[in-house]
Structure 1
């Protein structure tokens, strides 16, 4: 009996010791940099507004030079850019001077020309292609303009200290101990379905949104969608593009069709959690020298649509402007692209595949314009214009 009691006691102590260890392993955001916990108090100036408009014009003019090369990514960036700028006039048009209004309208007009050309190009494309159905969502931005969220402060802090994070890298992000090589491998893994939402899955789920009616009232209803899409969007883990594409699949039906994937409250909660994780990544990328511009821009562009002021940081917008050259082009950090290429080559199983990867990198190296980043920058800088207009006296 004594032996049995001793064994039970050892088991009890062991179990409780393991529980203590597990409790210690739970990360509660203690290393997240304090300066980023709350929204920035620095107010943008009229000079900021001018510089955001100038850079936006440069980029949209660069894209409009080759309208026949417009693809879904550029179309998405242009659509959201003009929606954000239209919302800016709707909200603060009376505070803007005639020059600002004229510049904004000129940019919107150029954006509509680009989209008009693309819609014409798509006339002969089969409806069975997901991208064809997604682009149909961009024909009318009336509901989107009215659905862009108002600016809100300090809604993400509670998630930054929540141990229930959407991936296991929060502590490494906050302590900036996650290597660039590891982050590059995470970026690549999203394309290989290692995380929940791959690019292909995201595109397919977005294409389902078109089957919802357009409602012009503000009453939200359940989306008509493949149930598997809602299930996928509510799963973890997620990192990098898997994060941003989960968010995109939640806010597009909300803002373009006024419907929710599970319930309004549940979607709101998940949107906050996703943007908190995207904010954590954005801060990490900024603190590590903006070594991957594409995701830095994508996180700001998408979370800006739901009004999180934490993403509207003056030095971030100034850094983005510095990437825009005189021709309106932005180029990715070549060191990071070289790293991604190296990882792809290591996984390539045939010489033919390796040659194709090398050729792709060579073409990228000699190309001054990264159009995906330019499309994202249109959204980010349009957010900057709207944000600056909010503070014009």
Structure 2
């Protein structure tokens, strides 16, 4: 997303006054000053509220030696992050995904997918200043995925695959540590809101404990639609693409999502908090139920519920209603992703975000082999991912542009790197989505 929503999650509901945020205030009590306005926001106000923020720490194995000492360190690092009794009751039984489903990743695809991830991480190792809040979320999800695989498959993975995963995690760890250090050093008052949102993906152990295997029972959750029906539903392609690109039409808009996410970030995360309702104002709940049913508005609605579930173990409405809403959103997104694929992946940034978020919830159907390979086709020779097909992007990347040498927590509307050669948000979502592809292959074939 050019304006990064993951940007977060990155409403036509009208509220009386503008939200004021005090990160030192207990949000369990909401005053009239903290009401949220979801219309009549000026363009300058929207820009100030970090409209273009997207978010998609890791624990990486730093020693790849196969000595007894290294194995001991790995075992400690991969030890159950929570009380064993909690982990025992966390996951429900799932039905294995059949290996003979059409157009799903094959075991032989593992090398190409991991090579693509490595290529992207290698570039970021040389361009760490491009790691903003959006990219950090993609790296976080990659880490959660691979850590989960190493924990669950440590007795069955071939040594070569394990070594490769640990190598990826080691690079990822360095990148995330760089980002964390830069956030801690950031004293810019204009970054206060974005800085508060970085805590939304701090609780890695909680995420790992809740990440389940892909469930074969979900195979019938989505329906393959014909082109004519999808075109009727979403309108002609050019009009659909324009609607998706108009972020101010989305409910919630990115800046509105970020304001509400700041309340979620002030909740307390613990292994027992799943019994509790998230402490957020009712104005932030309404758009989740009545928001936009396509584009970034829909992905941001899903993302909000996911951050509550995985990162804070609290529910917005009820545990069952939140789950039902997430499944309904992914069913809608599958149809939309299909329509995008039928139009040459013309909005690839939204497409990879849809795949990433729904794969997180166990919807393996989003990991079509042809879809994953198409994502890789948007990877440039430099290693990052573009939001444009090859004929429309700059032919060569531009390195070391003085204007953008400095690190920024939130790149805002300028989501591009290497002189427009790549898109930061697209790269973030692509890395995370390919990580889910790795998880699918290793769960299915090993």
Question: Do both share a fold (TM > 0.5)?
Answer: yes
Q: Aligned pair in 2 of structure 1 residues 235, 149: CA closer, same or farther (>3 Å)?
A: farther
Alignment of 1:271 onto 2:326: yes
Structure 2, unaligned stretches of length 5 or more?
1-99, 394-412
Alignment of 1:196 onto 2:233: no
Do 1:156 and 1:275's aligned partners in 2 also have CA atoms closer than 8 Å? no
Q: How does 1:100-179 map to 2 (within 5 A)?
A: 100-123=161-184, 124-125=186-187, 126=189, 129-153=192-216, 155=218, 157=220, 173=230, 178-179=235-236
Note the C-alpha offset of 1:238. Answer: 2.6
Do 1:153 and 1:310's aligned partners in 2 also have CA atoms closer than 8 Å? no
C-alpha distance in structure 2 between counterparts of 1:154 and 1:298, whole Å:
23
Alignment of 1:180 onto 2:237: yes
Q: Aligned pair in 2 of structure 1 residues 218, 89: CA closer, same or farther (>3 Å)?
A: farther
2:61 equivalent in structure 1: none
1:295 equivalent in structure 2: 350
Q: TM-score of the superposition, structure 1-length normalised?
A: 0.75
Q: Which moved more, 1:289-298 or 1:233-242?
A: 233-242
Do 2:274 and 2:315's aligned partners in 1 also have CA atoms closer than 8 Å? no
Q: Aligned pair in 2 of structure 1 residues 158, 392: CA closer, same or farther (>3 Å)?
A: closer
2:429 equivalent in structure 1: 376
Note the C-alpha offset of 1:112. Answer: 1.9
The partner residue of 2:135 within 67, 71, 74 is: 74
The partner residue of 1:223 within 270, 278, 283 is: 278
Structure 1, unaligned stretches of length 5 or more?
1-38, 162-169, 339-359
Do 1:79 and 1:138's aligned partners in 2 also have CA atoms closer than 8 Å? yes
Aligned length: 323
Q: Aligned pair in 2 of structure 1 residues 389, 157: CA closer, same or farther (>3 Å)?
A: closer
The partner residue of 2:376 within 318, 321, 328 is: 321
RMSD (Å), alpha carbons: 2.9
C-alpha distance in structure 2 between counterparts of 1:218 and 1:49, whole Å:
37
**Bigger CA radius of gyration:** 1
Alignment of 1:53 onto 2:108: no
SS across alignment from 1:129: helix
C-alpha distance in structure 1 between counterparts of 2:174 and 2:157, whole Å:
24
Do 2:378 and 2:390's aligned partners in 1 also have CA atoms closer than 8 Å? no
1:91 equivalent in structure 2: 152
Do 1:329 and 1:374's aligned partners in 2 also have CA atoms closer than 8 Å? yes
SS across alignment from 2:216: coil
Note the C-alpha offset of 1:249. Answer: 0.4
C-alpha distance in structure 1 between counterparts of 2:310 and 2:359, whole Å:
13
Do 1:77 and 1:378's aligned partners in 2 also have CA atoms closer than 8 Å? yes
Note the C-alpha offset of 1:228. Answer: 1.3
SS across alignment from 2:215: coil
C-alpha distance in structure 2 between counterparts of 1:336 and 1:244, whole Å:
28
Note the C-alpha offset of 1:380. Answer: 0.6
Note the C-alpha offset of 1:379. Answer: 0.6
Whose helix proportion is higher, 1 or 2?
Answer: 1
